[in-house]
Structures are given as C-alpha cells and as structure tokens.
Amino acid sequence: MEDTRPTPPWADEMPEGSFISYNPTYKVGEYFSLFKSGNAAGMKYYFFDPTEHGYEKGKAYPVLIFLHGRSNALEGDICINYTGAEFYATEKYQKQIGGAYVLVPLANEKRNENGEVTDTWGEDYAGPLYNLINSFIKEHAEPNGGAGKKFLFGNSAGATMVFTMAAAYPAFFNALIPIGTSSISDNSVLYQLDKNGVRLFFAICKHDEFNSYKDEIVPRLPDLKRMKHCYIFTPEWIYNGDKGIASINFGIEMGQHCLVNPMHCNLMFDDGTPMYAELPDGVLGWIKTVL
C-alpha cells in the first residue's frame, strides 16, 4: 500500500495540492523486441536500426547513443528502458525525428564479493566507448547511407560519462544530453564544445537527491550560460505521467534524481499535455532544432 512507503525527504516542500506518485505510468519492455544486440570494443550493446523498420536505405540517419546509470548494465534488457532509449525505437518517436539509429552501450559492470558494483563508467572507458560507437557506425550505418548527427545521452553515472567523452572527444558529437549529474566539465572543455558548435542540453532537477542544486549546480550556471549553444533545464519538480511528483525508493530516495523517466516520455503527461511550459514539444522538439 502506498501509505507504507517511506516518506521522501522533500515531501514537506511539495506545492499545496500536489501528490506523490510512486511509479512511472508506462510499461517497461513493451518495445524491447525492436532492439537487437551486438558486441564491439569488448562491450555488449543494444541497437535499433531504422532501415529494418520501414525507413529507406541509402540515407544518413542520426545516431542516438544512450549511456546507463550505475548498476543498470547488470539488469539485462531492462537497461534499454533505464537509459531512456526504449521509446526512441517506437513508431511515434521515429516519425517525429524522421528515422534514427538508437544505440545503448553497456559498461562491463559486475558485483564484487561485498555486493558492490564495480567497473562502471569512468575515464578508462572513453577510448573503448569511442571505438564501439565508430564500430557500430561502420557496421550498421555506413552500408546504409552513413551516419547523420550524433547525440550522446547519459543518465546519472552515464551523464558524468557524457562529460568525460566531451573532454576526450570535443568535436565528435553534435549534441550532448547529460541528465542528473553535477560533474560538469571545466571551462576549457566547455570552450572547446562551443568552438566546435556542439549543442548541450544540461538537465537536472532542483530537488535531485544525489546532487545538491544549490551547492554543486548553481556555482556552474554562469559558465553554462556563457556558452553559445547550451540549453539549461533545471525543473523544480519531476513528475510521472499521472501528474504526481515522482518518488522512487530502493533503500534510498531517488525519484527526483531520475529525470530520465519523464524525459523518456518526452516530458509529456499521459493526457498528452506538456509537463513544462518552457518545452511544449518536449525533448524531441529540442532534438529537431539540432537536426
């Protein structure tokens, strides 16, 4: 029963009339059959190829790459959903973008004898991940017309890895979408991104339970605002599709950290209305401006 759930630490800050929603309203795994798997650079990956689902060959489609959070690679196919990639294979999302490859690389995570997750994303993965992406493009995109613009999404630890990849390869990606991290690159990297025309969509909730908005994000906002192509998305609250404020508790509260869930739903409520007035067309609307 909902009344037995732990009370989130931010419950007393909720706006009057709000309610807590304990689960995303969408079904996980409904579209996993649209994905295939492969291996490259010593890592497994999942992928969706638009040319196998009605989109014409001989045309360059954008490549949307999604990096998972810590421990998510241990969950198998469910990782596709946890990264926020699953719905991008749907007919609805593909149609809005005009067709796109969807790529979900998996870190070689494992648990040690103490049950702790090891070998998640970090600097040592930068080269292998770069090689995996290039291998995927060579094997799947180039024979069908090549790759269009490259978008790198990341959630939580995956978002930190987005900035790690930005530092290592500041001209490789066309757009970066880190979700839920305070590990923002230093100004020298941000300058290189600007110089190379890279678009940045920086997203984090002001009530994120793992990253202090006041202490860790606010001091870096002036640096982000100085960039030519940075959209800063810092909503006050994270919602589920039922318009409730999201709570997820697996021993620790992380509902407001998981901004990836509403972004997966294109920042739309179940009734089709936008969650945030500033993004009436959701994340897909922003992606289309880059394309």
233-257: per-residue pLDDT in tens? 999 999 999 999 999 998 899 999 9
- Contact of 104 with 80, CB cutoff 8 Å: yes
Q: How far apart are CA 150 and CA 171, in angstroms?
A: 11
Mean of per-residue pLDDT scores for the chain: 96
Burial class (CB in 10 A: 0-12, 13-18, 19+), 167: middle
- pLDDT-above-90 percentage for the chain: 96
Examine the pLDDT at 63 and tell me if it is beyond 70: yes
- Contact of 238 with 205, CB cutoff 8 Å: yes
Examine the pLDDT at 1 and tell me if it is beyond 50: no
**Domain 28-290 of CATH type 3.40.50.300:** no
Phi/psi at 137 (5° precision):
-60, -45
- Contact of 224 with 190, CB cutoff 8 Å: yes
Neighbours of 39 (CB within 10 A): 11
Strand partners, 232: 202
Q: What is the rounded average pLDDT of the residues 111-128?
A: 95
Of the two residues 70 and 251, the one the predictor is more confident about is 70
Q: Are strands 36-40 and 43-48 parallel, antiparallel or unpaired?
A: antiparallel
Examine the pLDDT at 3 and tell me if it is beyond 70: no
Examine the pLDDT at 5 and tell me if it is beyond 90: no
In this prediction, residue 176 has a pLDDT band, given cuts at 50, 70 and 90, of very high
According to DSSP, residue 205 is labeled: -
pLDDT for the residue 6 = 87
Joined together, the tokens standing for residue 242 give: 């039922």
Burial class (CB in 10 A: 0-12, 13-18, 19+), 60: middle
Phi/psi at 160 (5° precision):
-60, -40
Judged by average pLDDT, the poorest of 2-6, 14-18, 31-35, 67-71 is 2-6
pLDDT for the residue 4 = 75
Residues, the chain, total? 291
Nearest of 237, 261, 274 to residue 84 by alpha carbon = 261
Nearest of 206, 205, 129 to residue 167 by alpha carbon = 129
- Contact of 49 with 140, CB cutoff 8 Å: yes
**b/e per residue, 242-269, with b = 16+ CB within 10 A?**
eebbbbbeeeebbbbbbbbbbbbbbbbb
Helix (H) or strand (E) holding 103: strand 101-105
Q: How far is CA 152 from CA 252, 278, 288, in A?
A: 28, 22, 15
Helix (H) or strand (E) holding 263: helix 260-264
Domain boundaries, the chain: 28-290
Q: What is the rounded average pLDDT of the residues 251-278?
A: 97
pLDDT for the residue 272 = 97
Joined together, the tokens standing for residue 207 give: 């009530």
pLDDT for the residue 251 = 87
pLDDT in tens, 190-208: 999 999 999 999 999 999 9
Q: How far apart are CA 111 and CA 115, in angstroms?
A: 5
Q: What is the pTM of this model?
A: 0.96
Examine the pLDDT at 106 and tell me if it is beyond 70: yes
Q: What is the rounded average pLDDT of the residues 137-148?
A: 95
> Angle 126-136/157-168 helices, nearest 10 degrees?
80
